[in-house]
Amino acid sequence: MDNLRIKRYHDKINHVIDYIKDLPIEPKNELEKRGIFYSLQTSIEAIVDLIAMLIKDLGIQVKDDVANISEIVKVRKLKSELGENLKKANGMRNIIVHRYNNFEEQIILNSVEEIKDLSYQWIKIVEEILNEII
């Protein structure tokens, strides 16, 4: 793997960390709520991008997000719960993008801590895989 590709991985990892590290659990106003949604959306997108990048770099055909998540879980023998949580986060990203209603907004806000934990867990796995394939 070339240095440019490795840099892309690290840029995506850093993006996720930068956007979630200080993410508040409870927004104080509408602007902060929008910031939380944007941070979650872009972080989840970066996580899904990392999955697709790994799939490609492991020599597996890249497919849709859900199939890629299933494939990386299977190939790396990861806990199925992790895969389900990644799929749920990916679905949440779609809800954020389309902003359906206040009920769904509250579900997302209630999931901030869970998504942060999932993000850190996934970054650790990506770094382990990178250490193996570099």
Catalytically active residues, by annotation: 93, 98
Residue 14's Cα: distance from chain center in Å?
12
Q: What does the block give as tokens for 5?
A: 């590709």
| Alpha carbon distance 133, 117 (integer Å) | 25
- Rounded to the nearest 10°, the torsion over CA 21, 9, 35, 38 is -140
Residue given tokens 């602007």 in the structure block: 31
107 close to 128: Cβ distance less than 8 angstroms: no
